[in-house]
Amino acid sequence: MTQSIGADAPGGPSRGSFLDEVKDAVTPRATLLVVGVVVLHLLFIASYVGALHDPRPKDVPFGVVAPQAVARQTVARLEKLPGDPLDPRAVADAATAREQILDRKIDGALVVGPAGGDTLLVATGGGKVLAATLVTLTTALEKSQTRTLRTVDVVPADKEDANGLSSFYLTVGWCVGGYLCASIMVISSGAGRSTPRRAVIRLLAMAVVGIVGGLGGALIVGPVLDALPGSVAAYWGLGALIVFAVGAATLAFQGVFGLAGIGLVILLVVILGNPSAGGALPPPLLPPFWKAIGPALPPGAGTWAARSIAYFEGNDMTASLLVLSAWAAGGVVVTLLASALRARRAQGTP
């Protein structure tokens, strides 16, 4: 009787266990990458929903214009609102209130008028959701005092910037360009093959990408789509800085952590940076954690600066530009140091 040759026959190909096939199909490295992706997408959901699901104003800088005694009473009343939505302070007059709104020192102001008629000053250019929130709060307060209220938009958002989000999307585009270009440069030649010379070349390439991408973004939101007012040159400079800062930071993270650095950049820039940037919700409407970290991350610093260029005559940009410059400088230093250390280890130098 002839025995058919099968997978289990002597001399035939051996059949491994199902566990062996799983190990062969899903390598340990692939498992780690899949786990990392699962963690990142869960963090993405937690960060975006946590930051944006329940906007509540907290300590919104708010001016009160009134005779001295009335101003004190009004400020005291606003300070006692449940949940501390406003951070009120007396302002000398309406002109000063407008100037402080333009300087981004306050987000709105109540001008108390005679005969029960008051005026609310807002700035939709700083965020339409925030302006609407101030209108709702003040209207309720005025009704309780049987006073009338009219609203004046001191810094109106451009009609082509319907939701006041163009500056945010512009910044996000620049950030995406920065980390994608840096990641592609490293992945294309291998994360472990960085040398000091290659690091310098990649940083110079990121500078070129920043210049080109900054100009492209400035032209798109300006002359091409007419989506934002403001100087094309100012947007160009800001965009070049954002792209280079994010790109240099990406190279730095990859230099220290290898390909896992891409995941860390996504965590900082996309998962934490975008919802805390003040785009969909301006900073005073964000929960404390996101409100605190937003200004220190490239999307938040870039969005603030872009809005300043568009609507606030470039006021109050220094801190944001310093943050972006710090990311750029830190990225350059860490990238060069990491490549130098890797080269020394490759040469066996202690």
- Sorted by where each begins, the domain ranges of the chain are 60-153, 166-346
Q: Is the pTM of this model over 0.75?
A: yes
In the chain, the amino acid numbered 38 is V
Beta partners for 87? 61
Residue 15's pLDDT is: 54
For each of the chain's 350 residues, which pLDDT tens digit applies?
A: 444 444 444 444 445 677 776 667 667 777 787 888 899 889 999 999 999 999 999 999 999 999 999 999 999 999 999 999 999 999 999 999 999 999 999 999 999 988 778 999 999 999 999 999 999 999 998 888 888 999 999 999 998 887 889 999 999 999 999 999 999 998 887 655 678 899 999 999 999 999 999 999 999 999 999 999 999 999 999 999 999 999 999 999 999 998 889 899 999 999 999 999 999 899 999 999 999 999 999 999 999 999 999 999 999 999 999 999 999 999 999 999 999 998 887 776 55
Q: Which two tokens stand for residue 170?
A: 């512009």
Q: What is the pLDDT of residue 35?
A: 87
**What sections of the chain are H helices per DSSP?**
18-25, 28-52, 68-79, 94-102, 128-144, 166-189, 196-219, 232-257, 260-265, 288-293, 298-311, 318-346
Q: What is the dihedral of CA 69, 74, 80, 83, to 10 degrees?
A: -150
